[in-house]
């Protein structure tokens, strides 16, 4: 197949590209390298089946040319993470809303099956456990910048579902804390990337609050597999799927595991959210996916135990991650 991956030089996108290339597909990546790295895809450049376009999804002429030639689209390009969204709210909103609108409009015009990447952040500060795809959303006020990411992704989902109603085969995947090789330590603030970098430098591991808040960390291989199933299982069209592990881990447990795995002399230091992010900061204590829909329709379940995934991530960080 001829497959277009937007954001294919990023963390999830480049890992997806590796699997798709391994299956013999012809892959085009569009990425403006705002956060993604050429080094994530450099090893593919020598293949005739791989094409890289250094441009923005806001450039509709380029996008139209690429989508016209595609049999399938994985739309992952986005401004990701609280830090970027708070620093440049306008840029983030435009990329995350207009960019997705562009992709879906062209996908509809040329009738190309599409998967769009959404986020567990959709649920905001909902205290529901586990979070089902159809559960209510609970967000803070518009004056707290971080919630714009959640709303932008929600608008993306509304667009996708509206096109699905017109018959376009489009699926939505909501990721829960993906981690693995190519996580950007300077990026949107994955706690695993931060802890690994701190531990490998024997610097203190900074744990916010009491560290008893939990997340469900999902190894990238599982994230990629779930994404590909959403693109290929016929019944996935028109639906939203949680793609994540249901294994809940507290941030403190994670810090301890990483100290142990790295054999680090680092201490664990607790810092309040207020000290770290200021008074406006709002956080969710738990975010656990209900994975039953992905299991029943896609046959998907995350399989990689956290310890194994952390070891594989650590191997990459030791070799390459510390230089990036």
Query: Which spans of this chain sit near ligand NAD (rule: CB under 6 A)?
Result: 7, 9-13, 30-36, 56-58, 76-80, 95, 99, 117, 119, 175, 177-178
The rounded distance, in Å, linking the Cα atoms of 163 and 13 is: 23
Which two three-digit tokens encode residue 286?
């738990």
98 three-class SS: helix
Q: Judged by CB, which is closer to ligand NAD: 79, or 259? A: 79
**Please, which residue, 147 or 264, has the CB nearer to ligand NAD?**
147
CA distances from 58 to 11, 66, 77, 214, 299 (A): 20, 13, 10, 36, 34
Question: In the complex, what is the shortest distance from the CB of residue 279 to ligand NAD, in angstroms, rounded to a whole number?
Answer: 26
Query: Nearer Cβ to ligand NAD, position 36 or 185?
Result: 36
Tokens coding 146: 């971080």
Nearest approach, Cβ of 198 to ligand NAD (angstroms)?
19
Q: How would you class 84 by CB atoms within 10 Å of its CB: exposed for 0-12, middle for 13-18, buried for 19 or more?
A: buried
Least distance (Å) between residue 77 CB and ligand NAD? 4
Give me the residue label for tokens 């070891």: 311
Active-site annotation holder among 149, 163, 179, 208: 149
Q: Using CA atoms, how far apart are residues 94 and 8, in angstroms rounded to an integer?
A: 19
* Collapsed DSSP state (helix, strand, coil) of residue 71: coil
Pick between residue 190 and residue 262 the one whose CB is nearest to ligand NAD. Answer: 190
Q: What are phi and psi of 138, to 5 degrees?
A: -135, 110
Spatial CA neighbour of 193 closest among 182, 209, 202, 203: 182
Q: Which residue from 100, 98, 107 is spatially nearest to 66, judged by alpha carbons?
A: 107
Residue 30: beta bridge partners? 6, 53
DSSP letter for 317, please. I
Residue 112 Cα distances to 77, 218, 228, angstroms: 17, 28, 15
Least distance in angstroms from the C-beta of 290 to ligand NAD: 16
- What minimum distance in Å lies between the beta carbon of 122 and ligand NAD? 9
Closest CB to ligand NAD among residues 169, 185: 185
Please indicate whether residue 149 is annotated as part of the active site: yes
Q: Of 173 and 252, which has the nearer Cβ to ligand NAD? A: 173
Residue 14: CB minimum distance to ligand NAD, A: 8
Tokens of 83: 């830090």
Q: Which of 218, 212, 190, 219 is nearest to 286 (CA)?
A: 212
Tokens encoding 193: 């990337």
Residues catalogued as catalytic: 149
């Amino acid at each position: 197949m001829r497959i277009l991956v937007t954001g294919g030089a990023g963390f999830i996108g480049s890992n997806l590209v590796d699997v798709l290339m391994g299956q013999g597909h012809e892959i085009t990546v569009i990425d403006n390298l705002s956060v993604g790295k050429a080094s994530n895809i450099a090893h593919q450049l020598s293949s005739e089946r791989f094409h890289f376009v250094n441009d923005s999804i806001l450039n509709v002429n380029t996008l139209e040319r690429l989508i016209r030639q595609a049999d399938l689209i994985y739309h992952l390009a986005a401004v990701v993470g609280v830090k970027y969204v708070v620093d440049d709210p306008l840029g983030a909103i435009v990329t995350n809303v207009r960019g997705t609108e562009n992709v879906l409009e062209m996908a509809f015009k040329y009738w190309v099956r599409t998967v769009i990447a959404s986020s567990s952040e959709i649920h905001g500060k909902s205290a529901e456990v586990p979070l089902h795809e159809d559960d209510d959303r609970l967000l803070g006020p518009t004056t707290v910048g971080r919630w714009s990411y959640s709303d932008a992704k929600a608008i993306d989902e509304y667009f996708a579902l509206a096109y699905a109603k017109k018959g376009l085969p489009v699926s939505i995947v909501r990721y829960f804390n993906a981690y693995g090789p190519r996580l950007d330590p300077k990026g949107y603030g994955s706690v695993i990337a931060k802890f690994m970098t701190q531990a490998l430098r024997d610097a203190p591991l900074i744990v916010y609050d009491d560290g008893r808040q939990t997340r469900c960390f999902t190894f990238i291989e599982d994230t990629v597999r779930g994404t590909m199933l959403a693109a290929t299982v016929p019944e996935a069209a028109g639906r939203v799927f949680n793609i994540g592990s249901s294994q809940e881990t507290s941030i403190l447990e994670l810090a301890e595991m990483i100290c142990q795995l790295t054999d680090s002399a680092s201490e664990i230091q607790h810092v309040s959210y207020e000290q770290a992010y200021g008074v406006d900061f709002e956080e969710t204590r738990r975010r656990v996916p209900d994975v039953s829909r992905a299991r029943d329709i896609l046959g998907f379940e995350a399989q990689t135990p956290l310890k194994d995934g952390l070891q594989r991530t650590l191997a990459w960080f030791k070799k390459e991650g510390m230089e990036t």
